[in-house]
């Protein structure tokens, strides 16, 4: 049987866990989570990503946060978005990751989305 939805951490909890992870990582210089607009529109970046980070080399990474069991669905969502918008991720102008929180392991499983993973 699958996990009951009530056993899964909320988006707010996953965001807090990610912020802690960002603050521990000396290579991450800053991060940003968009705020929800007063009109109640979706707060995701480009309708896909939950936050972005900037590392000490100035590289930007867009991150989709989720639970570990939902990683595959989020990768598909990103793949569909890349194809729909015809975004060339080969250029290396930015990177994309999906972080899935594992309640059992108490850590994020991190998936890097690159050209090969989209084939």
Per-residue pLDDT reduced to its tens digit, 34-74: 987 665 566 789 989 999 999 999 999 999 999 999 999 99
- Domains annotated for the chain, with CATH where assigned, are 8-118 (3.40.1350)
Q: Please give the backbone phi and psi of residue 103, each rounded to the nearest 5 degrees, phi first.
A: -65, -35
Residue ranges in 1-119 assigned as alpha helix (H): 11-24, 71-85
**pLDDT mean across residues, the chain:** 88
CA distance 88 to 45: 18
User: What's the rounded mean pLDDT across residues 12-20?
Assistant: 96
The least confident of 17-21, 42-46, 78-82 is 42-46
**Confidence at residue 92, expressed as pLDDT on a 0 to 100 scale:** 79
Using an 8 Å Cβ cutoff, are 69 and 98 in contact?
no
**Confidence at residue 41, expressed as pLDDT on a 0 to 100 scale:** 63
């Amino acid at each position: 049987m699958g996990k009951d939805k009530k056993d899964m951490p909320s988006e707010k909890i996953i965001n807090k866990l990610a912020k802690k992870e960002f603050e521990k990582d000396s290579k991450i210089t800053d991060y940003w989570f968009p705020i929800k607009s007063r009109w109640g529109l979706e707060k995701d970046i480009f309708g896909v990503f939950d936050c972005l980070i900037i590392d000490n080399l100035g590289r930007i990474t867009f991150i989709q946060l989720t639970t570990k069991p939902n990683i595959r669905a989020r990768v598909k969502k990103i793949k569909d978005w890349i194809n729909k918008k015809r975004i060339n991720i080969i250029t290396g102008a930015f990177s994309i990751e999906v972080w899935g929180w594992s309640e059992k392991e108490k850590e994020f499983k991190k998936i890097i989305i690159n050209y090969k993973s989209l084939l």
